[in-house]
Amino acid sequence: MNVSPPSPNSPPTTGPRLQALDAYRGLIMLTLLAGGIFHSLKGVPGWNWLYLQNEHVQWAGCVYWDLIQPSFMFMVGAAMPFALARRAALGDSWGRRLQHVLIRAFNLMAIGILLDHFGADKIQIGFIRVLQQIAVGYVIAFFFVGRSFRTQAVVVGVILVGYQLLWMFNPWNGPGGPWAMGNENIGSAFDRWMLDRNYSGYYVGLNAIPASATIIFGAMAGQLVQQTSSNGRFTPQRTMALLAVSGIAAIVFGWAVSPWFPLIKRIWTPSFAVYAAGWTTLILLAFYWAIEVKGWKRWAFPLVVVGMNSIAAYVLGNSFGGWFRSLSGAWIGGLRKPMGEAWFPVFQHALFALAAWGVLYWLYRRKIFFKA
């Protein structure tokens, strides 16, 4: 990990930073920081629906919380054309850019593994956390960023169709078939072979393969936005139309095939990859329209503060939430009775989200940005 404040002597980049990407990334990270608020609403009359949208479905299906990890990965892909173009403009060769990608992937993997061991009593290496999944997909996507959209679409198709066939036709499927909830599938068999164990919740490490397609989907969207200009091949209006059509088509396709090929995030079925890519594309479109096309930027500032320091936000959310609640309980515990057992946790989680945002704002003001 490095800390990279902008230098006044730095060479120019390939263009202004796209604030829509930072704002979208900020929304995802702020959702993670504030996740405890929504989880605390479980069973609260009138608010349980919000809890259900912020808790993973048990197996098949999709709610807002199931789109968090795909959004994170999609945004990694969307930022890649800009980041790699900047490094090329600064004179980095293809080999140097590959070296940078490999180092960053290693750092992401290391951070994820370290976070997996907070509070653990033994070493257990795992690969289902979003950072480890990004590390794998980031390297795969690198080889296709900057290629034609047709080439990228073919690569995505090969990944998803190949994964679908691998999942359907193998000797490890149980009597319930390839999509049955449990550990009778090739993903769990692979984890037992590699790690001698299975993950809780029936997650599988192999889902890094279709998740790499999610990153490439993001790279395609980022590449489209990157090539947009007022008098070029892709005008803002055409870009928005393409994003809208692509997003809606992906949602419709994923939903249409779901009766036969269910939307299952825990094993990242191809139908889920396509369906989630549709929603993430539409969310990016909304930010792009509001911020880059309409020029409405002030409202997004709280999100940008978080989005420009996403690694710091992720570490804060995963490492200090429990510590904050334990510490704050001594100071605000007296409010538990008047607020009630239902709303006190909501208040406590909201305080943590506010405190985390304050730390990120302090870093933002001092131009301290953590990168893997």
Q: pLDDT tens across 107-134, in order?
A: 999 999 988 887 777 888 888 899 999 9
Lowest mean pLDDT among 213-222, 230-239, 252-261, 332-341: 332-341
Lowest mean pLDDT among 7-21, 33-47, 109-123, 336-350: 7-21
pLDDT for 330 equals 67
DSSP 139-196: HHHHTTTTS-HHHHHHHHHHHHHHHHHHHHSSTT--TT-TTSSSS-SHHHHHHHHHHS
Structural contact between residues 282 and 313, judged by C-beta atoms closer than 8 angstroms: no
73-115 residue pLDDT tens: 999 999 999 999 999 999 999 999 999 999 999 999 999 998 8
Q: What is the pTM of this model?
A: 0.90
**Total Cβ atoms within 10 A of residue 258:** 18
Task: Write out the two tokens for 264.
Answer: 């299952």
331-367 residue pLDDT tens: 777 777 778 777 888 888 889 899 999 999 999 999 9
